[in-house]
Amino acid sequence: MSTAQVAHHSVAPGPAGSPRTGAAQASDPSLGPPTVTDPALVKRAVKAAALGNAMEWFDFGVYSYIAVTLGKVFFPSGNATAQLLSTFGAFAAAFLVRPLGGMVFGPLGDRVGRQKVLAVTMIMMAAGTFAIGLIPSYAAIGVGAPILLLAARLVQGFSTGGEYAGASTFIAEYAPDKRRGFLGSWLEFGTLAGYIGGAGLVTLMTALLSTDDLLSWGWRVPFLIAGPMGIIGLYLRMRLEETPAFAAEVAKAETERPKVPLREMVAGQWRALLLCVGLVLVFNVTDYMLLSYMPSYLTSELGYDATHGLVVVLGVMVLMMIVQPFAGALTDKVGRRPVMAAGCAGFLALSVPALLLIRDGGLLAVAAGMGALGLLLVCFTAAMPSALPALFPTRVRYGSLSIGFNVSVSLFGGTTPLVVTALIGATGDVMMPAYYMMAAAVIGGFAVWRMAESAGRPLPGSPASLEPGTHPEKVQKV
């Protein structure tokens, strides 16, 4: 059977959790013939999606890395721990509205198109971030400052409810089946680039500006940069065409756009949604622990110099960026499940040793501990952008993924800094970050065990997507 004749088929896990193997089923005529997308168009789609993700995480990165300063700017002076908790509380509040954003933008993306919704989320993200840079301090307007900060964070949270699911869906539906892991990994490459941009800028400002300058005006600079970044990202996204998979779905609907009830996105996909929640849990708990919480942990809990702590985290992210595309390509060769399973096992076995190295306090020990956690995190950042969209059929992909992803992030990922800070305060046990990551690894490992392998296979509900030159007589040009 030729590649052009292969269509997606569901693969149920066998007794040991491995997907059943065997000959691929014959293609479903209702899905249409296999497609080949223009490589230049695919490259533009990846760039536009990754840039939006970079802008989103530039903001989150800056917010996390400058959290101590923001606490002093927006909250009453007094207890430094209370200020930090208040700042992380505002950080976590944005995640409470993410499911609402997902329930709005996800179904909308399945109805009017991925490209249009991603343009809207880009505008809202840029506006919310830019607005933070304009808010007066607590000293200037009192309680109005934290209220306005919370309002801006809620706008950001609502918009990001449709961002990741839409961007990963967009890339997944454009990518050839055999390269989906590699191309999807560039989405998280954008995340790391955003973090590095935010961390690098904060590090530079911390080193060059006095404490008074940083508190009076310096902290505003990173947020104001979001304005021009948003304009560039919007321009790139407006130039994109709709994905072949969604175009085919619209063609099947003939005279009107696909209509999918919210009930079908949830109740009709409950098994896939549970898997999505479990996978996103381990992905985001470890992500936010390492990239958002650890800079503050090094400073507030271990007394580490703020600038040196940020430099270490910045170096870890550079290492992750270098490895990211290679790890994405690896998921295309060996599968998503083995790579993610290795990450879960690694966090379960190495979280405590890595944190003990970090607590040693020496620069090399801290770098080794952080580097180990960063490389384990790459197992998820490289695989998730291609694995998560493959859980759902085209008809409900954007909506169901938005709901599952954002519920998990809101409950477990975005609350990680707040929960771990509170746990350390309540128990006095500074090893709580390691225990939290280990618990997440257990849950994520079970989800990986129960999921089906998707590497090299068409997305559910979509025809096969082939690279240029693959059986050209049997494919249609998109």
CA-based nearest residue to 193, from 90, 46, 72, 304:
46
Spell out a b/e string for 420-437, using b for 16 or more CB atoms within 10 Å of the CB, else e.
Answer: bbeebeeeeeeebbbbbb
| pLDDT at 386 > cutoff 70 | yes
| Residue-averaged pLDDT of the chain | 82
Q: What local confidence, expressed as pLDDT, does residue 249 receive?
A: 78
Q: DSSP assignment of 232-282, as one string?
A: HHHHHHHTPPPPHHHHHHHHHHTTS-----HHHHHGGGHHHHHHHHHHHHH
Sequence length of the chain is: 478
Expressed as residue numbers, the domain containing 171 is 33-456
| pLDDT at 12 > cutoff 70 | no
CA-based nearest residue to 400, from 168, 165, 181, 101:
165
27 within some domain: no
List strand residue ranges (DSSP E) for 336-463, in order: none
475 within some domain: no
Q: What local confidence, expressed as pLDDT, does residue 143 receive?
A: 81
Q: What local confidence, expressed as pLDDT, does residue 306 receive?
A: 64
Strand partners of residue 13: 19
288 within some domain: yes
Question: Checking phi first, is residue 420 left (phi over 0); if not, alpha (psi -120 to 50) or beta?
Answer: alpha
473 within some domain: no
Tokens of 328: 């994405």
Q: What local confidence, expressed as pLDDT, does residue 254 receive?
A: 61
Phi first, then psi, for residue 13 (nearest 5°) are -65, 140
| Higher-scoring residue by pLDDT: 33, 348 | 348
Phi first, then psi, for residue 215 (nearest 5°) are -75, -35
- Mean pLDDT along residues 44-55: 85
| Higher-scoring residue by pLDDT: 477, 169 | 169
| pTM value surpassing 0.75 | yes
358 within some domain: yes
Answer yes or no: are the C-beta atoms of 215 and 72 closer than 8 Å: yes
| pLDDT at 476 > cutoff 80 | no
Distance CA 216, CA 262 (A): 47
Tokens of 36: 């080949």
| Higher-scoring residue by pLDDT: 149, 470 | 149
7 within some domain: no
CATH number at residue 144: 1.20.1250.20
Question: Checking phi first, is residue 19 left (phi over 0); if not, alpha (psi -120 to 50) or beta?
Answer: beta
Q: What local confidence, expressed as pLDDT, does residue 191 receive?
A: 87
5 within some domain: no
Distance CA 192, CA 198 (A): 10
Q: What local confidence, expressed as pLDDT, does residue 357 receive?
A: 92
Which of 10-14, 46-50, 170-174, 345-349 has the weakest average pLDDT?
Answer: 10-14
Q: What local confidence, expressed as pLDDT, does residue 98 receive?
A: 83
Distance CA 385, CA 172 (A): 8
- Mean pLDDT along residues 457-473: 73
Answer yes or no: are the C-beta atoms of 317 and 192 closer than 8 Å: yes
Which of 46-60, 183-197, 292-306 has the weakest average pLDDT?
Answer: 292-306
Distance CA 201, CA 157 (A): 23
Answer yes or no: are the C-beta atoms of 196 and 314 closer than 8 Å: yes
Neighbouring CB atoms inside 10 A of 21's CB total: 8
9 within some domain: no
Distance CA 110, CA 410 (A): 22
For the chain, what is the domain count? Answer: 1
Residue with tokens 């949604």: 273
| Higher-scoring residue by pLDDT: 11, 324 | 324
| pLDDT at 431 > cutoff 80 | yes
